[in-house]
Chain A
Amino acid sequence: GAVVSQHPSRVICKSGTSVKIECRSLDFQATTMFWYRQFPKQSLMLMATSNEGSKATYEQGVEKDKFLINHASLTLSTLTVTSAHPEDSSFYICSARDKGTSGSVYEQYFGPGTRLTVT
């Protein structure tokens, strides 16, 4: 099946620094990738939709200057958390969309997530 990887799986950084998280589709091309944030014991919150070769679309309330998204190729999207603060500590999950077998129904394949801790 379709595999999506994320790197790193865990990262600890100091307050004020920037952190880059990579999301790769390993065996398929993904024109669209999604970035989610998951708080402990809560659901996934969509942060932004990333389309290859164009600017990301951010959900309401998500700061685009703080969470920089680059989708430079059909297999790679990156999320950079700039000037990270402790409140940015969270579990970040990406997904990549592949066309399903049911015509217009698109399936999303999820990466294993990245645990970010800002000290």
Chain B
Amino acid sequence: GDSVTQMEGPVTLSEEACLTINCTYTATGYPSLFWYVQYPGEGLQLLLKATKADDKGSNKGFEATYRKETTSFHLEKGSVQVSDSAVYFCALSDRGATNKLIFGTGTLLAVQP
């Protein structure tokens, strides 16, 4: 079945460092891809999404490009802030009737001042 694999954390960075969180997927069709963020004690929030190959999703300085050839959707940010500390989940959604989300295991990012 469809699945999402993302790099294990925790990822610890200093403020203003560059961030990359790897995400690869396996899907039989052409899924939509998402990054969700979960701040401490809160629910998940959609960070960005891409619906087709070569689409680039971006929000709050984060970017991810839908790479069909490598089945990847890596999350990147050029300069992280302490406020970016959170758990980041990569997810895919099929285009079937249910549009269920399948999540990766999550990556904890800790940004130190």
Seen from chain A, the residues whose Cβ lies within 8 Å of a Cβ on chain B are: 4, 6, 32, 34, 41-44, 46, 49, 57, 93, 95, 97, 102, 104-113
Contact of B99 among A6, A42, A97, A111 (CB under 8 A): A97
Seen from chain B, the residues whose Cβ lies within 8 Å of a Cβ on chain A are: 32, 36, 42-46, 49, 51, 89, 93, 95, 98-106, 108
Quote the shortest CB–CB distance from B68 to chain A (angstroms). 16
Residues of A contacting B: mostly: strand
Residues of B contacting A: mostly: strand
Number of A-B contacts (CB under 8 A): 54
Do residues A43 and B104 form an inter-chain contact, with CB atoms below 8 A? yes
Do residues B45 and A110 form an inter-chain contact, with CB atoms below 8 A? yes
Q: List 26 A-B contacts (CB under 8 A).
A: A32-B98, A41-B106, A41-B108, A43-B89, A43-B106, A44-B89, A44-B101, A44-B103, A49-B100, A57-B98, A95-B44, A95-B101, A97-B99, A102-B51, A104-B95, A105-B93, A106-B99, A108-B46, A109-B46, A110-B36, A110-B43, A110-B44, A112-B42, A112-B43, A113-B42, A113-B43
A6 to B103, CA, bound (A): 21
Quote the shortest CB–CB distance from B90 to chain A (angstroms). 10
